[in-house]
Chain A
Amino acid sequence: MQSKMKESDPILEVENLSASTNNLPILKGVSLTVYPGEIHAIMGRNGCGKSTLSKIIAGHPSYNITNGDIKFLGENINSLEPEERAQSGIFLGFQYPIEIPGVSNLEFLRVSTNARRKFLNKEELDTFDFEELVKEKLEIVKMDHAFLSRSVNQGFSGGEKKRNEILQMALLEPKIAILDETDSGLDIDALRIVASGIKKISNAQTGIILITHYQRLLDEIEPNYVHVMSDGQIIKTGESDLALELEKKGYEWTDNFIKKT
């Protein structure tokens, strides 16, 4: 199965990536390749650089790439604007989705969806057609239509915000989705909804990177690979049983691993 996947070209290639913010090095040579249909989990302590990695792939302006490359579908995207990356199919699910007062969620989703559709040379949707599409996608995350008329993420509970992220992912149909602690702050029911949403949206052509602390999301969505990050580096890569082992032994076990190397 896996060897079959690798017959196609990779979606994302992170090659020896180092990055800093305010001259403080955060990433120190990260390499990661994601092929179509693969699910990668990145685990590690707070501050190990996993959120930073996701933001850099999405193009956050606060970080400077000091070395290495990010390639998306074979093209170097180091210097692309965040919106260009998003339009071409990179999706970042935020750990803390941002509130934007006054901007209606519906309008935001429509403008965003149309930006992606435009890139794909698909017809842009007017408000009526978009209503139809969004209704269908709301089902995936079991969200109420009333969410659409509120301001983007404003006053949403933690779980609602995360579901709104997955709704965006469903609308944008990305080639690769990097989901940064999408499971944090979710109760069991919400976690199931989010996990089944992610599974419905992804397919053999898409790649997924799950950034998480916990096994419980990985119980719902089994990863092909698990990477453990520490101090800006991937220090260990394994298959899904690595996460289980990590759950059992804790991050201290990985500390030992660093000392050994």
Chain B
Amino acid sequence: MVNENSVKDVVKEPYKYGFVTDIETEKIAKGLNEDVIRLISQKKDEPKYLLDFRLKAFKKWQKMKEPDWAGLGYEQIDYQDIIYYSAPKQKEKISSLDEVDPKLLETFDKLGIPLTEQKKLTNVAVDAVFDSVSIATTFREELAEHGVIFCSISEAVKNHSDLIEKYLGTVVPASDNYFAALNSAVFSDGSFVYIPKGVTCPMDLSSYFRINSGDSGQFERTLIIAEESSSVSYLEGCTAPMFDTNTLHAAVVELIALDDASIKYSTVQNWYAGDEEGIGGIFNFVTKRGKCLGKRSKISWSQVETGSAITWKYPSCLLLGEESVGEFYSVALTNNRQQADTGTKMIHIGPKTKSTIVSKGISAGNSINSYRGLVRMGTKAKGSRNYSQCDSMLIGDQASANTFPYIKSQQPNSEIEHEASTCRISEDQLFYLQSRGIEFEEAVSMMVSGFCRDVFNQLPMEFAAEADKLLALKLEGSVG
């Protein structure tokens, strides 16, 4: 159960992750061309296949058009006005955390993600990514004892090149979409996870993404591979300082689950959302996809999206393996001038595959919050089932909520169920709670948490508490 007092405590706070760390960085010049891509690849000392992967992606990207089907309103992004590589200056090779710049450790401390041996979180391993690079990964040795590989993707390229070459871009091909192509061309860092056959990862793994610099984009790439009969729970958190300019974030996440493997991927996204007038904030264009390759494999996405000026994100599942399972649990909260277009794609390819979608959208202020989802039953998806539930909650009378469910079935022996609802927090409900002595803000946050309960129940415990707090914080002053 979530502590009600903690919710109260944070209600009055402004965006508390908005600080900038003053640190010397190594940045390359603004702009994007082949030379920039070669430079990034060279800085990371990459093998040729990876440079080729990047260059190919770049060529495709140049021929592609920025998608506009989501109808999001934002100023044209000038891709030549972005810095594609920015890293805090530090020693070439860091052998232990003691050599990490104390300023960086302090930054993560302030974000509630202590990394040092004495202070690190005891129940979760963390990969901390600062702008374009991974700063540190905790519990590596302990995980290695179980054969679990958890490191930055740059390191994986060096030390586990076979796995990278085999799997990178197999779930989200470089040509998949405009932002995935861009990411494939310029991705800087991100996390890599490999769970060997039969291993249940002994602790939750997590990545914390921090954008610090105002003029550089963040393009991280995450790859998680769960071998036969293995399982892992992975958490992702994100914050950024408050700048009055927009920062582009275009990430790609690929998950692969083999026979009987299960991956649970949870996100709490709290990028800076811009101010009340919609000035500043992160443009969050993310491609997340999991491939249930093996029989009875399972991929479960849960996300709490509260930040970003613009969110464009559809964590999806390709259900190839027989009896594989895909899940998507989402809470998206928008306030002020935020725009979110988020949902999922459940592509049923194998027989007897099953998917569940539970989406809760909350729109307050002048925001626009849309659920967009596709459920497709392929010709071989005999005996497959989908259940979707999309609920929207409106707060105030200026916000809007949309639901765009796309359903395509080529298999008569499959079932698709879709339920949708829209509700508004009514004055009568608020008055009822208030007339029982419950403060106005708390009444709102109780109702919002109640609305999101089905999704919060899917989150790891610490995350659920954090998510609840975040919602309360984001809604401050949005009702009334």
- Do A and B truly interact? yes
Question: Please, how many angstroms separate the alpha-carbon atoms of A143 and B29 in the complex?
Answer: 71
**Known A60-B431, A127-B1; contact A103-B447, beta-carbon cutoff 8 A:** yes
**Known A83-B438, A111-B4, A111-B446; contact A100-B432, beta-carbon cutoff 8 A:** yes
* Beta-carbon contact of A81 and B434 below 8 Å: yes
Partner of B437, one of A94, A102, A172: A172
B439 at the interface (CB under 8 A from A): yes
* Beta-carbon contact of A102 and B451 below 8 Å: yes
* Beta-carbon contact of A97 and B439 below 8 Å: no
Question: Please, how many angstroms separate the alpha-carbon atoms of A82 and B435 in the complex?
Answer: 5
Which of B429-461 touch A at CB < 8 Å? 429, 431-440, 442, 446-447, 449-453
A206 at the interface (CB under 8 A from B): no
Question: Please, how many angstroms separate the alpha-carbon atoms of A16 and B255 in the complex?
Answer: 70
**Known A101-B450, A102-B451, A103-B446; contact A111-B431, beta-carbon cutoff 8 A:** no
Contacts of A58 in B (CB 8 A): 431, 435
Interface residues on chain A, number (Cβ under 8 Å): 31
Interface residues on chain B, number (Cβ under 8 Å): 25
Partner of B453, one of A60, A86, A94, A102: A102
* Beta-carbon contact of B447 and A115 below 8 Å: no
Nearest CB of B to A225, in Å: 24
A92 at the interface (CB under 8 A from B): yes
**Known A83-B438, A83-B440; contact A102-B427, beta-carbon cutoff 8 A:** no
Question: Please, how many angstroms separate the alpha-carbon atoms of A127 and B440 in the complex?
Answer: 22
Nearest CB of B to A163, in Å: 16
Nearest CB of B to A256, in Å: 37
* Beta-carbon contact of A98 and B428 below 8 Å: yes
Nearest CB of A to B398, in Å: 19
Nearest CB of B to A248, in Å: 35
Contacts of A94 in B (CB 8 A): 432
Q: Whose C-beta in chain A lies nearest to the C-beta of B453?
A: A102
Contacts of A100 in B (CB 8 A): 429, 432-433, 446-447, 450
Question: Please, how many angstroms separate the alpha-carbon atoms of A104 and B447 in the complex?
Answer: 10
A8 at the interface (CB under 8 A from B): no
Question: Please, how many angstroms separate the alpha-carbon atoms of A85 and B452 in the complex?
Answer: 30
Question: Please, how many angstroms separate the alpha-carbon atoms of A102 and B429 in the complex?
Answer: 12
* Beta-carbon contact of B450 and A97 below 8 Å: no
Task: Determine the main DSSP class of B at the interface with A.
Answer: helix
Q: Mark A115-128, 1 if CB is under 8 A from B, else 0.
A: 11001000000010
Question: Please, how many angstroms separate the alpha-carbon atoms of A58 and B437 in the complex?
Answer: 11
Q: Which of A87, A111, A119 has the most CB of B within 10 A?
A: A111
* Beta-carbon contact of A59 and B435 below 8 Å: yes
For the A-B complex, the count of residue pairs with Cβ-Cβ distances under 8 Å equals 80
Contacts of B453 in A (CB 8 A): 102
Q: Mark A9-28, 1 if CB is under 8 A from B, else 0.
A: 00000000000000000000
Contacts of B433 in A (CB 8 A): 100, 108, 112
Q: Whose C-beta in chain B lies nearest to the C-beta of A103?
A: B450
* Beta-carbon contact of A61 and B437 below 8 Å: no
**Known A83-B439, A102-B450, A107-B1; contact A97-B434, beta-carbon cutoff 8 A:** no
Partner of B436, one of A60, A62, A102, A108: A108
Question: Please, how many angstroms separate the alpha-carbon atoms of A261 and B451 in the complex?
Answer: 54
Nearest CB of B to A12, in Å: 15
* Beta-carbon contact of A172 and B436 below 8 Å: yes
Nearest CB of A to B79, in Å: 43
Question: Please, how many angstroms separate the alpha-carbon atoms of A108 and B451 in the complex?
Answer: 14
Question: Please, how many angstroms separate the alpha-carbon atoms of A107 and B438 in the complex?
Answer: 12
Q: Whose C-beta in chain B lies nearest to the C-beta of A86?
A: B437
Nearest CB of A to B431, in Å: 6
* Beta-carbon contact of A98 and B429 below 8 Å: yes
Q: Whose C-beta in chain B lies nearest to the C-beta of A92?
A: B435
Contacts of A78 in B (CB 8 A): none
Nearest CB of A to B465, in Å: 14
A237 at the interface (CB under 8 A from B): no
Q: Mark A223-239, 1 if CB is under 8 A from B, else 0.
A: 00000000000000000
Contacts of A151 in B (CB 8 A): 450
Question: Please, how many angstroms separate the alpha-carbon atoms of A87 and B426 in the complex?
Answer: 22
A168 at the interface (CB under 8 A from B): yes
Question: Please, how many angstroms separate the alpha-carbon atoms of A100 and B447 in the complex?
Answer: 7
* Beta-carbon contact of B436 and A98 below 8 Å: no
Which of B192-244 touch A at CB < 8 Å? none
Nearest CB of A to B432, in Å: 4
Contacts of B432 in A (CB 8 A): 94, 97-98, 100
**Known A61-B427, A111-B4; contact A86-B450, beta-carbon cutoff 8 A:** no
Nearest CB of B to A170, in Å: 13
Partner of B440, one of A81, A97, A98: A81
**Known A102-B451, A102-B453; contact A62-B427, beta-carbon cutoff 8 A:** yes
Nearest CB of A to B134, in Å: 39
* Beta-carbon contact of A111 and B438 below 8 Å: yes
Q: Mark B98-127, 1 if CB is under 8 A from A, else 0.
A: 000000000000000000000000000000
Q: Mark A132-157, 1 if CB is under 8 A from B, else 0.
A: 00000000000000000001000000
* Beta-carbon contact of B442 and A111 below 8 Å: yes
Q: Whose C-beta in chain A lies nearest to the C-beta of B360?
A: A102
Q: Whose C-beta in chain A lies nearest to the C-beta of B423?
A: A101
Q: Mark A171-205, 1 if CB is under 8 A from B, else 0.
A: 01000000000000000000000000000000000
Question: Please, how many angstroms separate the alpha-carbon atoms of A244 and B447 in the complex?
Answer: 44
Nearest CB of A to B291, in Å: 34
Q: Which of B427, B437, B447, B450 has the most CB of A within 10 A?
A: B437
Contacts of B429 in A (CB 8 A): 98, 100
Question: Please, how many angstroms separate the alpha-carbon atoms of A70 and B439 in the complex?
Answer: 21
Question: Please, how many angstroms separate the alpha-carbon atoms of A197 and B201 in the complex?
Answer: 54
Question: Please, how many angstroms separate the alpha-carbon atoms of A58 and B453 in the complex?
Answer: 30
Pick 13 A–B contacts, CB within 8 A, sort by A: A59-B434, A81-B440, A82-B434, A83-B434, A83-B439, A86-B437, A100-B429, A102-B449, A103-B450, A107-B446, A108-B438, A108-B446, A112-B436
Q: Which 9 A-B pairs have the closest CB atoms?
A: A102-B450, A115-B437, A103-B450, A112-B436, A86-B437, A98-B432, A82-B434, A87-B437, A83-B434
* New A-B pairs, 18, CB < 8 Å, besides A86-B435, A104-B450, A116-B437: A58-B431, A58-B435, A82-B431, A83-B438, A85-B435, A92-B435, A94-B432, A100-B432, A100-B446, A101-B451, A102-B452, A103-B449, A108-B446, A111-B446, A112-B436, A112-B437, A115-B439, A172-B437
Interface residues of A (CB under 8 A from B): 58-62, 81-83, 85-87, 92, 94, 97-98, 100-104, 107-108, 111-112, 115-116, 119, 127, 151, 168, 172
